[in-house]
Structure 1
Amino acid sequence: MKNFRIGKKGTTIALALSLTIPALTPAAAASNNQVKIDSVKFNGMPAPTTIDKMVKTYTEASVDVKYSNGEVKNFPLTYQKLFKSEDKVAINKGELIPAGTPIDVNGNPIMDTSVEGNPTYYVSDAPDSNSLLKPIAGKQYMVTHYEYQTIDAAGKSAYGIVPASMSLTTLDQNNKTGELTQKQVKKIDFSSVNGLWIPCNGSLSPWNTHLGSEEYEPDARSFELDSTSSSRTQVESFAKLYFGDASKANPYFYGFIPEITVNKDGSTSVEKHYSAGRFSHEVMKMMPDKRTAFFGDDGSYTTLFMYVADKAKDLSAGTLYAAKFHQTGTENGGAGDLEWINLGHSTDKEVKAIIDSGVKFSDIFETSDVPKEGFKAVKQYSYGKTEYLKLKPGMEKAAAFLESRRYAAMLGATAEFNKMEGVTLNEKDKKVYIAISDQSKGMEASSTDPVDDIHLPKIKSGVTYQLDLTAGQKDSQGQKINSEYVAAKMSGLIAGKDMPSADAFGNTADVNSVANTDNLSYSEALRTLFIGEDSGMHTNNFVWAYNVDTKELSRVLSVPAGAESTGLFAADNLKGHSYIMSNFQHPGDELDTKNISAVDKVELIKAMEKEIGINRTGGIGYISGLPSLEDLKK
């Protein structure tokens, strides 16, 4: 998420929802005097307009439930904080450390020595994904990502040079009110998989494991051939801090999907899925068949991938596909048909064996600095400019699963998507929603790029798209794809609204529309798509609720100025209660005050420092007050 980001005054927008809940049995209906639900409506909130609200995470939204007997019950929403990433709540080897502090290969907290003579804990200010697992052995767990650290103790950039981490929180739930409180926080051990690279978004698998991510994979070409490249600097820094040995740096260790299993005794096990491909993994979202998955591939000049596992609930072996986008229109952001190119089949063991053999980029590809016969011109995220590549004999599997985006582009897939972020599923309608946070760069028409499949209108504030899923699809070679959940079409659902100039609060996108869509989570019960922003075009970022039936949009949460809304996770029924998990990260980081005239800029900065601090910590919490299942069955 970080990089490339583009950061709200407005009116209240009411959201009418058509609720889809399993019908009451006749006996249940009789016992409830035939009272049923007519509608559920989110009453939205205005954007903050005062400093005291601009520096807080809060909601003023509410939910109205209207029953068939005419009664309307209102449920005010509140934001509940669990803990901040700087809070010493994590138990590690019997020691309390900050929740956002990473641990090394030996399980020791990694220390920031940037200020001579004053070592301190590294503390990530960027909590991201949350997964509320279904109860295990009667206990409630939550997995949380800590994506990166923005600055070190000396005030210098620490992005990408410090190993990342995840935590496992044991939660207590008040049976009556549904209130959640943290009982215990533990760091998750990634030593079996060479540590954890920048974990962005994540998802809960249908079999109750957490599917994490490793975003912005280091470029293996630059790492090998350019000793001054950021890829070399970052991976070597990572290795020195994690292993205590910079010589263990290997870019091919990172850029995969880690799966975290919580065992009955509360211990965790971690497995990286190499057969799901290596690229800038934003999130992996599984389909109802428990075999098919779609991904966000974050960055500029990226690709839409699909994975089909051999067996349900088992991601250790499968086939990786990449999409070619055939544009059909520009309405509401854009539309196109999707053709799928088979990149190959592999297993985790096979790909890991290739990595462990010490393979380098130059073992996989020949390169040329100029066009040359037999070489394919591609442009993709990790290298960032046009390169001319030729696959070396017998290296198809290494290319497909270690250089997935490069290989996909060589085979004709589209590598022009920009800031492809969150992914979520609407199971009933067989639709996947996917976020294009910033529709520009490769998604615009270009006469200089090697390929120009996408030539859509520039919308810096982004577009949320929907993918239509269907069975019976064939790949580009005419071979049947063994899945009933293949995306055949892609079309714009919610387009952002760029403004020609900033308003008095510094917003450069319409404050009453979504800007830079990022985290996505869907509630089947409420027929509602929840959207979290990663925006520099809004001074405060928001969480929105969008009814897929009425097409109405409502603002339901505001996070501190300059912060990003992350960790979005809608839980419809956790022991009878519903939640919307939502974090914030790097408060104040993207606070651009030059266009703000509606409030005192100096006072706003002072208030940010006093309330939460700038680039110091992030918050983990949730929206509470949603109707419980008992309320909805009144």
Structure 2
Amino acid sequence: MSNRILETFKLSAIALSLVVGLSACEGDDGATGPAGPTGAQGQTGADGQAGADGSDGMNGENGQSASVLTRLATVPTGAEVTGAFLTDEGDLFFNVQHPSDANSLTESVNDKAYNKGTVGVLRGVNFNNLPKTIVSSPVPVTEQERQVVVSALGEYQIIGQTNDTFAELGDKGLAGGLGVHYGIVSGDKIIENNAPDFNGYVSTGDGEGYLFTNWESYPGGVSRLKIEKDTQGSWSVTEAMMVDFDSVAGTAANCFGSVSPWGTPLSSEEWIVNSSVNSTTNASWNNPADTGTDNMEALTAPDFPNPYRYGYTVEITEATSATPTPVKHYTLGRYEHENSTVMPDRRTVYSSQDDTGGVLFKFVADAAEDLSAGTLYGAKLTQDAGSSEPATTGFDVTWVELASSNNATIEAWIAEYDGIDTSDYVEGKTSYMSLADVQAWADGDATYPSEADGGSPVTAGQPMDDRAAFIESRQAAKMKGATAEWRKLEGISINHDRALEAVGGVESIAEEDVTEAYLYMGIADIDNTLIDNEGDIQLSSRVKDCGGVYRAKLEANYDLARIEPVVMGGTYRSSLTGALRCDVEQLSQPDNVIVMRDGRIIIGEDGFQENNTLWMYDPK
């Protein structure tokens, strides 16, 4: 019997039983019959049509990759890391500044003790072609490690040390000694400088060029070493000299610097113009009872030094000639210059003031590659509302125009103070520009105030001019509304090729498409005027003396409109002493920074650690 007939029969029987059951109103139900066998399963039907695809879900937020600090090297006991400079060929120079005199141990590479100021390079490695991940060099543990340079890559080669004469070079040596300074008039030795700072390399061909090094002291100076690299990456000196600054009355405390896009070193005078936020040039400078002039009188004896001749950016022109020529650019302003960095437009220059209550300055030259004339600006900062944590708080930036002028005009103003000496000193007054003078300029007065009204004797009652902007630049900027609250605003840096591609639209980095570039700034201390709950900057004191690094995106025309933190030191532990105050695995008073071609940054420390570190940081 077919399944269909069987199913029909079963349904008929059921229907008949229902009829019978319903007709017997009072009868008992019959017993349930046994269940029949289960029928075979029927064939599976065809699949139905697939439904339409649903709409895509929303993308999740991008995650943040961890930023990495890598310890590239440590320097010997007592020293700070200075002079980091990366060449186009990938050579990384840096210095060991004022190491401990007690360091006596040596290593096989140099066989020299690190107890003098030392200029050197990490040989055998191309820093323009590094892997993404590098194993950090160790925190020094043994006495041997504490007294030498320990590096994660390459070998540190000493190029020169304080007082080296390079006698083997004959008349191309340096009889006076590397880093040694002499009086302009007397010719007497003033100081054997133990503090090499900035390095700037000017190439003259593959594997050869001139290495310029700042020697930071009072007075200061710059050395120039002609150096060559062999096929194994080792460097040798073929010529040595100290640059002659007699034509500009010498220099004071040559600190960090840069090399301009047209190949001239820019050396910075970080001479203490005046450490007081609320003052102009120290009124006691020519006080006969207090004649300490930071050794500057030894440069110009028997003349008394004019303080307005120091505190500028000095360009070394004709850098590769037999007689390099220094030019002081008064146009960039007078203050404690840490360094000045020129943008790829060859006109815009950013400069940092390394002091308490300092200003971030901008200068725009009238013509490219000519810093002798232009306009000076000071940065006005607006802190993020409701935020004070250093690691997350940024600032919007606007620029306050100070004045326009040129070197010749400013030098003529400076010369008016040349004849002042101790005989001109009057108790309670100043022989130089006064706060009243600067305020009158800021207020737009037609004339300088009289002496009775607080003016200085040089300008009293005279028609107003713009000298205040260029020889008392911090007070001028502050009175015009710029923010004068930075504390130890140290080195500032860009990578020229990254900036040129991102802003100038010129493809320079073959390895990537660069759409954004940044100017980086080292801040040694997040302290004092940054955390005093006054003015434009009001940060917390958590980081304090451990410091940090900020950056500012380069906008159209190389403008800066926003400054933000990149990496901060750890929490400052004031209850502890010595190196323990800042975490050895984090930043400890970053000094100068340089930007690599791949966007990573190199940071030199001047901190509490027994062995300061040269760090590499990946902001990506």
Pair in the same fold by TM > 0.5: yes
Relative distance call for 1:375 and 1:200 in structure 2 (3 A) is: closer
| 2:398 paired with 1:339 | yes
Relative distance call for 1:136 and 1:259 in structure 2 (3 A) is: farther
| Contact 1:214–1:282 (8 Å) recurs in 2 | yes
Share of identical aligned residues, percent?
Answer: 29
Q: Is the partner of 2:334 in helix, strand or coil?
A: coil
For 2:573 and 2:399, the matched residues in 1 are separated by 38
Relative distance call for 1:419 and 1:333 in structure 2 (3 A) is: farther
Relative distance call for 1:294 and 1:12 in structure 2 (3 A) is: closer
More strand by share: 1
| Deviation (angstroms), 1:255 | 0.5
Partner of 2:316: 260
| Residue identity opposite 2:265 in structure 1 | H
| Contact 1:421–1:519 (8 Å) recurs in 2 | yes
Partner of 2:220: 164
| Contact 2:379–2:400 (8 Å) recurs in 1 | yes
| 2:546 paired with 1:468 | no
Q: TM-score, normalised by structure 1?
A: 0.64
1:460-490 Cα shifts (integer Å, max 9, x gaps): 111200012212xxxxxxxxxxxx0111001
| Contact 1:324–1:340 (8 Å) recurs in 2 | yes
Specify which of 444, 450, 457 is matched with residue 540 of structure 2.
457
| 2:252 paired with 1:215 | no
Partner of 1:248: 304
| Deviation (angstroms), 1:547 | 1.6
Partner of 1:86: 163
1:102-122 Cα shifts (integer Å, max 9, x gaps): 1332594x425xxxxxxxxx2
| Residue identity opposite 2:571 in structure 1 | D
Q: Is the partner of 2:532 in helix, strand or coil?
A: coil
| Contact 1:142–1:168 (8 Å) recurs in 2 | yes
Note the 1:1-400 alignment, pairs <5 A. 39-59=131-151, 61-62=152-153, 77-89=154-166, 96-105=175-184, 108=187, 110-111=188-189, 122-135=191-204, 140-148=209-217, 160=218, 163-174=219-230, 176-219=231-274, 221=280, 223-225=282-284, 227=286, 233-234=292-293, 237-239=295-297, 241-245=298-302, 247-328=303-384, 329-331=387-389, 332=391, 334-358=393-417, 364-365=433-434, 367=436, 394-400=463-469
1:203-258 Cα shifts (integer Å, max 9, x gaps): 011000000000034349554446559995125x312x21231x331000000011
| Deviation (angstroms), 1:417 | 0.7
| Contact 1:129–1:145 (8 Å) recurs in 2 | yes
| Contact 1:466–1:493 (8 Å) recurs in 2 | yes
Specify which of 593, 599, 606 is matched with residue 527 of structure 1.
599
Relative distance call for 1:41 and 1:389 in structure 2 (3 A) is: farther
| Residue identity opposite 1:494 in structure 2 | V
| Contact 2:491–2:592 (8 Å) recurs in 1 | yes
For 1:258 and 1:397, the matched residues in 2 are separated by 21
| Residue identity opposite 2:138 in structure 1 | P
For 1:413 and 1:184, the matched residues in 2 are separated by 45
For 1:238 and 1:44, the matched residues in 2 are separated by 43
| Deviation (angstroms), 1:302 | 0.7
| Deviation (angstroms), 1:139 | 5.2
For 2:564 and 2:573, the matched residues in 1 are separated by 25
Q: Is the partner of 2:412 in helix, strand or coil?
A: helix
Q: Is the partner of 1:489 in helix, strand or coil?
A: strand
| 2:595 paired with 1:510 | no
| 2:475 paired with 1:406 | yes
For 2:401 and 2:322, the matched residues in 1 are separated by 39
Relative distance call for 1:106 and 1:142 in structure 2 (3 A) is: farther
| Residue identity opposite 2:527 in structure 1 | S
For 2:467 and 2:606, the matched residues in 1 are separated by 34
Relative distance call for 1:366 and 1:501 in structure 2 (3 A) is: closer
Relative distance call for 1:194 and 1:208 in structure 2 (3 A) is: same
For 1:144 and 1:41, the matched residues in 2 are separated by 31
| Residue identity opposite 1:202 in structure 2 | G
Q: TM-score, normalised by structure 2?
A: 0.66
Specify which of 526, 540, 565 is matched with residue 492 of structure 1.
565
| Residue identity opposite 1:445 in structure 2 | D
1:172-192 Cα shifts (integer Å, max 9, x gaps): 211x22221212210100011
1:345-391 Cα shifts (integer Å, max 9, x gaps): 010111011111227865644549xxxx98999xxxxxxxxxx9999
Relative distance call for 1:164 and 1:324 in structure 2 (3 A) is: same
| Residue identity opposite 1:295 in structure 2 | S
For 2:130 and 2:605, the matched residues in 1 are separated by 31
| Deviation (angstroms), 1:266 | 3.3
Relative distance call for 1:233 and 1:92 in structure 2 (3 A) is: farther
Relative distance call for 1:54 and 1:502 in structure 2 (3 A) is: farther
Relative distance call for 1:95 and 1:314 in structure 2 (3 A) is: closer
With CA pairs under 8 Å and 6+ residues apart, which has the higher RCO, 1 or 2? 1
| 2:519 paired with 1:432 | yes
| Contact 1:12–1:46 (8 Å) recurs in 2 | no
Relative distance call for 1:501 and 1:406 in structure 2 (3 A) is: closer
| Contact 1:222–1:232 (8 Å) recurs in 2 | no
| Contact 2:489–2:524 (8 Å) recurs in 1 | yes
1:23-72 Cα shifts (integer Å, max 9, x gaps): xxxxxxxxxxxxxx99533221121112211121221x13xxxxxxxxxx
| Residue identity opposite 1:492 in structure 2 | P
For 2:381 and 2:455, the matched residues in 1 are separated by 22
| Contact 1:171–1:182 (8 Å) recurs in 2 | yes
Partner of 1:7: none
